[in-house]
Amino acid sequence: MLLDFLQDNGGIVAIFLLFFLMLLSVPVFVAMGVAAFAAALLLEDPFQAFRTFINVGWQSASIFELVALPLFIFTGTIMQRTDAGRDLFDITKAWVGGIPNSMGVATITACGIFAAVSGSSIATAATVGLVAIPLLLQEGYGERRAGGFVAGGGTLGIIIPPSIPLILYGVVTETSIGQLFIGGVVPGIIMMSLFTLYALMSRPRITVQHSQTLAEKIAVSRRSLGVVLLPVIIITAIYTGIFTPTEVGALSVLYVVFLGYVQKRLDVGKIKAAAVAATTTTSMLFMLIVFGQYFAHFLTFEQVPQAIAAAIIENASGVYAITLMILAYVILGMFLESAAMLLISIPIFFPVAEQLGMDPIAFGIFAVIAMEIAQISPPVGVNLFTIHGISKIDLWKIARGALPFLLIQIGMLYLVYFLPEIVLWLPKSMMR
Amino acid sequence: AKERLSISTWGSPKHYQVAEFIPQFEKLLKDKSKGEISMKIFAGGEMVKQQFVPTAIPQGTVDISLTLLDNWSGTIPEVSILTSPLWTRSMEWSRDNLKPGKPIFDYFDAKLRSQGAVVIAMFDIGPPVISANFEVTGPDSLANMPIRVYSKGSGEVIQALGGAPTVMGVGDVYSGLQRGTVKGALGGLGGAVGLKHYEVTSNMFVPNGVMGTLIHAYVMNKDRFEKLSPALRKAVMDSALEARNHMQQFAIDKQTALLDQVRKAGKKVTVVERDGALWKGFEKKLEPLTAEARSKYPADLVKMVTSN
Amino acid sequence: MINLARQIGRGMTFVSITLMIVLCLPITYEAVARAFNAPTIWVFETTLYAFIFLGFLGNALAVRSGAHFRVMILVGVFPKAKKYFDLTAQLFTLAFAVLIMASGSYFVWYALSGSILSATMLEIPMWIPQLSIPLGGLGLFLQTVVSMATGEGVDEEIQVFGD
Ligand code: NA
Ligand code: NA
């Protein structure tokens, strides 16, 4: 009886096991692999389950587009060790120093510029945060806002290209990574503008002036030029498409190494430390990708996503279905790490989005904004952990400070659904 | 006992190799097996991606899959003869000869069986074309041009013409052509039109078979096949053959319409006429590769491929 | 024994870090070579395999630095039971590492016994890149054993990796 029930619902068993194992604090990639493998053992001959495990694992690992991943991660870890954060912050502070809440605005702007170099929210938040948080605290923004600005602004790291999650999404859904990158530019700029607007208006107002003379501004800008040029180079290279995203990743590694040596801020020890950090992150993501895809493969084979998509479409349509999806993302995002959430949710929600008539590129941006929400929503949010790690500000305080950013992001989700042109216009203009 | 077979395809689900085969096959098999066999269908590489079929089918990841035979070159080097210039058969010839009981089908079926897969249908989706941003006026036009290739055999042909075979993911071909990452891309006509490569290229070169062709197949896990009762095995083979005949004819009829679609988009289409001057030029340029193929592949196979 | 396990983990870490540092070189070479209409047939495949080695062998380092993500909600609710949660997580990781090693070894054996080559112009024997799987499983297993014996990488707070 029980066995029959379990065999008829292999996909549900796998999902249940996954959440059970995750609650037991089993590492997420292990939980995904074990859950799908155990459910497969229920359904098929053990040797077949064993062979499928390794075949699918290998197929999920050998995807050339993934090679871009370590390259963009390494670029970020090198920049962290060459004081790029200070350069960015100095230059933004120099140019916006005269306005109210100037330090807050400078923080968001620095995050936006760093986002155009780094593919990760954590790196963006950490790099800018290390410099910005002490200064924000010193000027009286308070711990809640100081932490919140950087945690929120840091999420720009994955919407403004390059973006590690967009690479993952492109790989899993076989959508062009180059076009996804370009699709993130306009929504990224809109989001950054809204963040800036919030930073400008947040209370209490801080009116400490940082006015500098034009000569000083130019001096600061020249000193920081190397770092500020990189995002321009990266976005141009991706947009004109002279190089593939992977090649842009390789070239930016060489660029930051070269720059670091020219500026005398880099040595062999720092490169090694940057490589250690990048390897750690790459391996962590790699295992999530490989076994996340194995889990997704099992669900797809059991036709779970198809069933869920059909159920959502039958019972809700248009804005209700989207709201349902957003709700699901917000709840999942509270408890799951963002990359794990993406890998678990895409196979289920991608068919729903297709049914709702969303373009795969627009949905990619949608999914990445949902990930940003996951990164700053408590209790599990990597940006919250990052800021807590570097500043020791209380986690819940940071989460409260990041709440306005989270609300803006929910608004952005609807915007992308109702007005996908903001995503699609730029990649389409590139087509001609 | 009821049987449920999983069947997987890759590439566009609208391509005739999928859209004109799978629905027919499913319906025929249901009828011929008297409802004993039902199917679970997966498209677009969601189960097995193109290049992984040669291990995934023998290992039973899915029961049946679409495959490009040249992708089996890692275990069956002989498959590359199909992509070599030795292969100059027309699609009509393939329609009548790539069937169970005919020598070439049986030859490759035996080869795949030794690897744990059974060929249930074999067909010619049409000679590959080159979507390019330059005009091919003769066999020397490809010299030094980076051209996207899809397999080992196709790479060797481009290399023999002096071009630079370039490997890139299927998803990157469109943008690669558009941005000049590659100057041209070799691929099936159905795919090139379906994926709209003509939107980002100025020319299409149609070798019409002087550079080999694209033989695809549907293959089934051997253990799974042999565990079926003889009656069900026959149902599978008969249904596959019938669906394949329909699809092969559809593909033949569709070639002209596809080329017209490219012409209508204002692109220059250069077709190599069989035994015309252009054909002879390419034949001559490819002669070393043809000669190499002649000596490299088993004599009996060469005979099957070239004899009248 | 623990020392030996740690040494093997260090060796794997060394290889993966080296791959991380040099990975950009062949890709840049390819980008430049293609600009001169001379693309290679080896960069695409070899860098992919290097990346896969990097990902699997990097496990030793990832375990040692506590980087593999865990959901700690229940641990937060029952802090006194933390050691049991840790033990559960470690035992499941060990079991999974065994599955990776066993299936990876089977896959390598399959490629070796069938003399499977990559279906590309490069024709690389597939057992070579596939060897990364059982090795990665071994690294995961050994480093988890080290963690269980010494506590390394277990009590690390969520770390800030500058990814
Ligand atoms: Na970014
Ligand atoms: Na969260």
Partners of residue A67 in chain B, C-beta under 8 Å: none
The pLDDT value recorded for residue B252 is 94
| Measured distance CA(A234)–CA(A217) in Å, rounded | 24
DSSP state letters, B6-66:
EEE--S-TTSHHHHTTHHHHHHHHHHHTTT-EEEEEE-TTSSS-GGGHHHHTTTTSSSEEE
Partner residue facing A389 (CB), from C61, C70, C158: C158
Instruction: Report whether pLDDT(C148) > 90.
Output: yes
The pLDDT value recorded for residue C160 is 41
Check if A246 contacts B (Cβ < 8 Å). Answer: no
Instruction: Report whether pLDDT(B170) > 70.
Output: no
Residue in A closest to B181 by C-alpha:
A242
Residue in B closest to A51 by C-alpha:
B59
Sort A47 into a burial class: Cβ within 10 Å, 0-12 / 13-18 / 19+: exposed
3-state secondary structure B222-273: HHHHHHCCHHHHHHHHHHHHHHHHHHHHHHHHHHHHHHHHHHHCCCEEEECC
List B132's β-bridge partners, or say none: B184, B203
How far does C21 lie from chain B, in Å, by closest CA? 23
A-C contacts at Cβ under 8 angstroms: 220
Check if A241 contacts B (Cβ < 8 Å). Answer: yes
Check if A409 contacts C (Cβ < 8 Å). Answer: no
Amino acid at position A99, single letter: I
Chain centroid, CA B237 distance in Å:
20
Partner residue facing B167 (CB), from C115, C116, C120: C120
Q: Binning pLDDT at 50, 70 and 90, where does residue A432 land?
A: very low
Mean pLDDT of chain B: 91
Ramachandran category for residue C14: left, alpha or beta (phi over 0 → left; psi -120 to 50 → alpha): alpha
Region A344-361: mean pLDDT is 87
Torsion angle (degrees, nearest 10) of CA B116, B117, B118, B119: -150
Name the phi and psi angles at C65, rounded to 5.
-95, 10
Partners of residue B42 in chain A, C-beta under 8 Å: 300-301
Residue in A closest to B45 by C-alpha:
A174
Region C100-129: mean pLDDT is 93
Check if B252 contacts C (Cβ < 8 Å). Answer: no
Name the phi and psi angles at C25, rounded to 5.
-70, -55
Closest-CA residue to B209 (of B72, B117, B97, B305): B305
Closest-CA residue to C122 (of C42, C3, C31, C14): C42
Check if A74 contacts C (Cβ < 8 Å). Answer: yes
Q: DSSP code of B171?
A: G
Give the tokens for residue A158: 């994955």
Partners of residue B151 in chain C, C-beta under 8 Å: 119-120
The pLDDT value recorded for residue A431 is 53
pLDDT digits (tens, 9 = 90+) for A245-294: 788 889 989 998 998 998 889 999 999 999 999 999 899 889 988 998 89
Region B213-222: mean pLDDT is 96
Instruction: Report whether pLDDT(B139) > 80.
Output: yes
- For chain B, what is the radius of gyration of the CA atoms? 19
- Ranking A17-26, A238-247, B24-33, B298-307 by mean pLDDT, the lowest is A238-247
State whether residue A271 is helix, strand or coil. Answer: helix
Instruction: Report whether pLDDT(C156) > 60.
Output: no
Cα(A391) to centroid of ligand 2, in Å? 19
Q: Sheet with B268-271: list strands edge to edge.
A: B164-166, B146-148, B184-187, B129-132, B203-206, B268-271
Instruction: Report whether pLDDT(C161) > 60.
Output: no
State whether residue C37 is helix, strand or coil. Answer: coil
Check if A407 contacts B (Cβ < 8 Å). Answer: no
Quick one: which H or E segment has residue B97? helix B91-97
Closest-CA residue to B159 (of A17, C38, C48): C38
Cα(A399) to centroid of ligand 2, in Å? 10
Indicate yes or no: CB of B169 within 8 angstroms of CB of A178: no
Region A6-26: mean pLDDT is 88
Indicate yes or no: CB of A64 within 8 angstroms of CB of B169: yes
Give the C-alpha distances (Å, rounded to integers) separating C20 from A193, A206, A285, B157, C15.
35, 44, 14, 35, 9
| Measured distance CA(A147)–CA(B94) in Å, rounded | 68
Amino acid at position A203, single letter: R
Give the Cα-Cα-Cα angle B12, C122, A245 (nearest 5 degrees). Answer: 55
| Measured distance CA(A145)–CA(A136) in Å, rounded | 8
How far does A250 lie from chain C, in Å, by closest CA? 4
Mean pLDDT of chain A: 87
| Measured distance CA(B57)–CA(B62) in Å, rounded | 6
What share of chain A in percent tops pLDDT 90?
A: 36
The pLDDT value recorded for residue C158 is 42
Indicate yes or no: CB of B179 within 8 angstroms of CB of A175: no
The pLDDT value recorded for residue A146 is 93
Q: What value of ipTM does the predicted structure carry?
A: 0.91
What share of chain A in percent tops pLDDT 70?
A: 98
- Crossing angle of helices A142-154 and A121-138, in 10° steps, is 160
Chain centroid, CA A398 distance in Å:
18
Check if A7 contacts B (Cβ < 8 Å). Answer: no
Ligand lying nearest the CA atom of residue A231: 1
With a CB cutoff of 8 Å and minimum separation 6, the contacts of B55 are A55, A58, C110, C116
The pLDDT value recorded for residue B169 is 66
Instruction: Report whether pLDDT(A1) > 70.
Output: no
Yes or no: say if B295 and B220 are a contact pair by the CB < 8 Å rule.
no
pLDDT digits (tens, 9 = 90+) for A186-199: 999 999 999 999 99
Cα(A113) to centroid of ligand 2, in Å? 24
Give the C-alpha distances (Å, rounded to integers) separating B191 from B14, B256, B307.
9, 14, 30
Indicate yes or no: CB of C115 within 8 angstroms of CB of B75: yes
pLDDT digits (tens, 9 = 90+) for C135-145: 999 999 999 99
Ligand lying nearest the CA atom of residue A157: 1
Give the Cα-Cα-Cα angle B199, B205, B208 (nearest 5 degrees). Answer: 130
List of chains touching B (3+ CB pairs within 8 A): A, C
How far does A240 lie from chain B, in Å, by closest CA? 7
Check if B71 contacts C (Cβ < 8 Å). Answer: yes
Amino acid at position A418, single letter: F
Buried b (16+ CB within 10 A) or exposed e, B48-80: bbbbbbbbbbbbbbbbbbbbbbbbbbbbbbbbb
Quick one: which H or E segment has residue B204? strand B203-206
With a CB cutoff of 8 Å and minimum separation 6, the contacts of C18 are none
The predicted model scores a pTM of: 0.87
Residue in A closest to B168 by C-alpha:
A64
pLDDT digits (tens, 9 = 90+) for A45-79: 999 999 999 999 999 898 887 888 899 889 888 98
Count Cα atoms within 13 angstroms, Cβ side, for C63: 35
Buried b (16+ CB within 10 A) or exposed e, A159-194: bbbbbbbbbbbbbbbbbbbbbbbbbbbbbbebbbeb
- Ranking A7-21, A104-118, A217-231, C26-40 by mean pLDDT, the lowest is A217-231
Cα(A327) to centroid of ligand 2, in Å? 13
The pLDDT value recorded for residue A240 is 73
Give the C-alpha distances (Å, rounded to integers) separating A379 from A249, A373, A388, A398, B300.
33, 12, 12, 11, 69
The pLDDT value recorded for residue C155 is 61
Region B97-109: mean pLDDT is 96
Yes or no: say if C103 and C23 are a contact pair by the CB < 8 Å rule.
no
Instruction: Report whether pLDDT(A211) > 80.
Output: no
pLDDT digits (tens, 9 = 90+) for C8-19: 999 999 999 999
Partners of residue C116 in chain B, C-beta under 8 Å: 55, 74-75
